């Protein structure tokens, strides 16, 4: 990629920061730490709009361009770090598009492989993780029509990190709109982590539209799973040094409920620190956003650091989980879903008898890392028990879809299904 193109892309991403502030401007009164839910004070709103632009641009400079991202060496073809896995070679999309799915949200999608091949929807994780081109490499490009969709508020979907009308069942409806838009009658669903959750939710709502399910790193979004990960009830015992960094982003007097404390910061409420802020509008907005970025990075890096059996170096986080753009969408959307029990009516909803009965006929493969700390194996075990006709494969790996052992089993599954008739 040319340097000028890279700078333009990075600058466009940085402009999402002031845009996020502007989208939130009607949520604040002049009293720090308080929120209002109307836009009656038009004079204040115009001040916040202006302040949002200035503060956001200042923060865009604060989170400056990654010099490595703009290096002239980028024009050289990089070595494929996944070449030693069973993944197919890198692909280019044959079609990219956007679909307006609500008055607020526009969803970005891309298609890879064979336009006349077997349709498969690749459901990304998070929520808020967005898609990457490497996700298309689990499938034979000669056999599959591979559809990648960025869910609301993340990836290339707009508006950035927006939480309004952003729920599990909004995404289920979006997938149906994408399916109809692309003229697809049925498709395979392929998803891991949150992608397994959303795939199951979609399949329960639309079982007649699914040919197969390929699921990895099962996440049923139960209270015990969330507390294991985010409340110091399990994962912290295995990665104590990384937990400390997650813990230190929250003052000691708020550590009885980490998800709630993070929510206050990620939603721009600042928690207890907000009570002592200056009422200067510009400083107030900058303080809010710096606190938001700090919390977003701590939340995001915690998950990134514990996602593999063999940890990536800390430096590798800087271009992925610690990237401002990624972390803000990832952390805000994840926290929004998790503090609302992912909008399911009951704990354990996905494996209730009446729900699994709707999908029991769908051929299902489950791939689970034995040492997955993000989504422990108990959830895959419980899903397999609820769906006894499913296949389950445990591998000696962690959580990431791109660990060699997980890749091998996922590709086996897609190979198995590629010629299967619905």
Q: Give the angle 75-314-9 at the CA atoms, nearest 5°.
A: 35
pLDDT of the residue at 373:
98
pLDDT of the residue at 352:
98
Residue 21 Cα distances to 32, 129, 161, 374, 398, angstroms: 15, 20, 10, 30, 36
pLDDT of the residue at 324:
87
The superfamily in CATH containing domain 95-220+363-417 is Alpha/Beta hydrolase fold, catalytic domain (3.40.50.1820)
Check: pTM over 0.85? Answer yes or no.
yes
pLDDT of the residue at 259:
98
Task: Check: CB of residue 196 under 8 Å from CB of residue 399.
Answer: no
In tens, the pLDDT along 22-76 reads: 665 545 444 444 443 343 444 444 455 555 555 555 555 555 444 444 444 445 6
Look over the chain and give the mean of its residue pLDDT values, rounded to a whole number.
86
Q: Give the angle 268-63-58 at the CA atoms, nearest 5°.
A: 70
> Tokens 């070595």 belong to which residue?
79
d(C-alpha 267, C-alpha 34), whole Å: 12
CATH code: domain 226-342 is 3.40.50.1820
Cis status of the peptide bond prior to 118, with omega within 30 of 0: no
Which pLDDT band holds residue 290 (cuts at 50, 70, 90)?
confident
d(C-alpha 385, C-alpha 285), whole Å: 50
d(C-alpha 39, C-alpha 61), whole Å: 29
140 phi and psi angles, rounded to 5 deg: -65, 115
Torsion of CA 307, 313, 314, 315, to 10 degrees: -130
Q: Note the maximum CA span of the chain.
A: 64
For CATH 3.40.50.1820, the residue range(s) in the chain are 95-220+363-417, 226-342
pLDDT of the residue at 287:
77
Q: Encode 352-385: b = buried (16+ Cβ within 10 Å), e = exposed.
A: eeebbeebeebbbbbbbbebbbbbbbebbebbbe
Task: Check: CB of residue 396 under 8 Å from CB of residue 405.
Answer: yes
H-helix or E-strand spanning residue 381: helix 377-386
375 closest CA partner among 328, 327, 324, 308 = 308
Task: Check: CB of residue 58 under 8 Å from CB of residue 79.
Answer: no
Residues with catalytic roles: 193, 372, 399
Q: Which range has the worst mean pLDDT, 10-24, 119-133, 158-172, 303-317?
A: 10-24
Q: What is the DSSP string of 341-371?
A: GGG-SSTTGGGSHHHHHHHTTS-EEEEEETT
In tens, the pLDDT along 105-134 reads: 999 999 999 999 999 999 999 999 999 999
């Amino acid at each position: 990629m040319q340097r000028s193109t890279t700078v333009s892309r990075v600058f466009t991403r940085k402009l999402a920061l002031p845009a996020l502030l502007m989208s939130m401007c009607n949520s604040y009164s002049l009293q720090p730490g308080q929120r209002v839910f109307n836009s009656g004070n038009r004079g204040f709103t115009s001040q916040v709009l202006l302040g949002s632009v200035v503060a956001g641009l200042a923060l865009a400079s604060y989170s400056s361009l990654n010099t490595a991202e703009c290096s002239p060496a980028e024009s050289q073809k990089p070595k494929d770090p996944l070449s030693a896995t069973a993944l197919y070679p890198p692909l280019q999309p044959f079609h990219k598009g956007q679909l307006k799915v609500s008055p607020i949200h526009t969803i970005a999608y891309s298609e890879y492989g064979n336009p006349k091949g077997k349709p498969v929807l690749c459901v990304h994780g998070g929520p808020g993780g967005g898609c990457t081109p490497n996700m298309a490499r689990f499938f034979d490009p000669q056999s599959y029509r591979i559809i990648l969709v960025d869910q609301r508020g993340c990836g290339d979907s707009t508006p950035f990190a927006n939480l309004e009308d952003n729920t599990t069942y909004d995404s289920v409806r979006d997938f149906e709109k994408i399916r109809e838009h692309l003229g697809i009658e049925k498709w395979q669903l392929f998803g891991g982590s949150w992608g397994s959750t959303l795939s199951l939710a979609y399949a329960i709502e639309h079982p007649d539209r699914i040919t197969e399910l390929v699921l990895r790193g099962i996440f049923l979004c139960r209270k015990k799973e969330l507390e294991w990960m985010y409340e110091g009830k399990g994962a912290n015992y295995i990665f104590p040094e990384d937990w400390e960094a997650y813990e230190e982003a929250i003052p000691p007097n708020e550590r009885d409920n980490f998800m709630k404390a993070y929510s206050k910061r990620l939603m721009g409420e600042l928690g207890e620190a907000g009570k002592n802020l200056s009422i200067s509008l510009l400083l107030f907005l900058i303080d809010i956003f710096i606190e938001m970025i700090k919390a977003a990075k701590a939340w995001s890096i915690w998950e990134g650091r514990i996602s593999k059996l063999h940890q990536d170096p800390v430096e590798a986080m800087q271009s992925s989980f610690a990237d401002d753009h990624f972390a803000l969408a990832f952390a805000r959307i994840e926290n929004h879903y998790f503090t609302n029990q992912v909008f399911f009516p009951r704990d354990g909803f996905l494996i209730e008898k009446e729900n699994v009965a709707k999908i029991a006929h769908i051929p299902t493969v489950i791939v689970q890392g034995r040492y997955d700390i993000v989504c422990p194996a108990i959830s895959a075990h419980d899903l397999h028990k609820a769906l006894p006709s499913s296949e389950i494969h445990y591998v000696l790996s962690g959580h990431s879809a791109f660990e060699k052992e997980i890749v091998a089993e996922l590709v086996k599954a897609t190979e198995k299904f590629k010629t299967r008739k619905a």
